[in-house]
Amino acid sequence: MNSHIQQRYVFAKDLIKNVGEIALSFYLNRDKLNIQHKKGEAQDLVSIADQNVEKEIKTALKAHFPDDGFLGEESGADGLDKDFCWVVDPIDGTSPFLYGLQAWCISIAVLYKQEIVIGLIYDPLHKELFHTIKGEGAFVNKAPLSASKATSLQEGLVGLGMSHRVPPSTFVPVIDQVLKEGGMFVRNGSGALTLAYVAAGRLIGYFEPHINAWDCLAGILLVQEAGGQTNDFLANDGLLKGNYILASSQGIFNQLEAIRSLTL
C-alpha cells in the first residue's frame, strides 16, 4: 500500500465526518438558507451550505496536502495534472437536503495518477460512513460491504437517476424495460448515496444517463471494492464532462447494459 494514499485515506475519514456535522447543522436550520438555481439548469439548486462545506474541505486540504489537485462541484478544477487529485461534492442531493428529505450526503474521492484510489460517502443523518481504499475492500463504518448477488431484475430494487441536462428519451425507455422485465426502481435524488447502497447490497443496480464526476467517483470505487461492477466512467473525459453511470451486481450488469443501449 502506498503510504501517501493511506495517509490521505486516514485524513479524509476524519475530514468528511467533521464537515458532515457542519452540513447537518445547515440541514437542521435549512429554513434560513439562501437558495439559488444554477444558471440554465432547472431543478439544480445550490445553497450557502454547499458553498461553505466545500470551502471547509478545500481549506483543510490546502493546509495538509497543498500540492494536491482539486475538483469540486462549487469551485471547479485546480491542478488536475497533479499526481493526487481530490474530487468533492460537498452536498450530493441538494434538492432533498433543502426540501427536508433524507437522501443527501458528502462525497469525496481521491485520484492517484488518474485512477480512483479512495472513496468516501458520508450520510450525517444516519451516521453512516461508506469508505474504501483501492484493493482493501469496502466498509460502512466498521462493517464490510458486499454487493448483491442478484442475477435477475426481479431479485431487488434498481436505483435510477435523471437530470434535465439530458432529454427524457435517454431515460424513459429504461424505466419501461425495467418494469417489463419484472423489476422495480427507486430514485432518491443522490447519485452518490445510491451508489453506496449498491455497494451495500441494498440496491441491485443503478443507472443514470449523465452524471458528474464529483457525484459518482467515490461510489464507483465502493461498488468495485464490494464486488460489484461498473462502466468505465472516466473514459471520454468523464472527469470533466461527466458520463453515464451503470453499476450493479455482476449478475445483472450485462442485462442492465442491454437496457441502457435502448437509449442510444
**57-92 pLDDT, tens per residue?**
999 999 999 999 999 988 889 999 999 999 999 999
Q: Is 115 annotated as a binding residue?
A: no
Question: Nine-digit cell at 129?
Answer: 460512513
User: What are the residues whose beta carbons fall under 8 Å from the beta carbon of 95, sequence distance 6 or more?
Assistant: 43, 45, 101, 189
User: Distance of alpha carbon 206 from its chain centroid, rounded?
Assistant: 11
Residue scoring higher pLDDT (200 or 29): 200
Residue 196: per-residue pLDDT: 98
* pLDDT greater at residue 170 or residue 251: 251
Does residue 47 have a pLDDT over 80? no
Highest mean pLDDT among 74-83, 92-101, 251-260: 251-260
> Is residue 130 within 8 Å of 145, Cβ to Cβ?
yes
d(CA 116, CA 68): 14
**In the predicted structure, residue 37 carries a pLDDT above the cut 80:** no
| CATH code of domain 1-142 | 3.30.540.10
Residue 236, Ramachandran bin (φ over 0: left; ψ between -120 and 50: alpha; else beta): left
Domain spans in the chain, listed from the N-terminal domain onward: 1-142, 155-260
In 3D space, the residue among 189, 184, 221 whose CA is nearest the CA of residue 205 turns out to be 184
Q: Is 181 annotated as a binding residue?
A: no
CA atoms within 13 A on the CB side of 230: 27
CATH architecture of 155-260: 3-Layer(aba) Sandwich (3.40)
pTM over 0.75: yes
How much is the pLDDT for 149?
A: 97
Residue 89 assigned as binding residue: yes
Residue 138's beta-bridge partner residues?
Answer: 132
Residue 119, SS3? strand
Average pLDDT of the residues in 233-260: 97
| Confidence check: pLDDT of 184 > 90 | yes
16 is in an annotated binding site: no
- 208 among annotated binding-site residues: no
Q: Let me know the angle formed at the C-alpha of 158 by 152 and 162, rounded to the nearest 5 degrees.
A: 140
Reported as a single tens digit per residue, the pLDDT across 196-207 is: 999 999 999 999
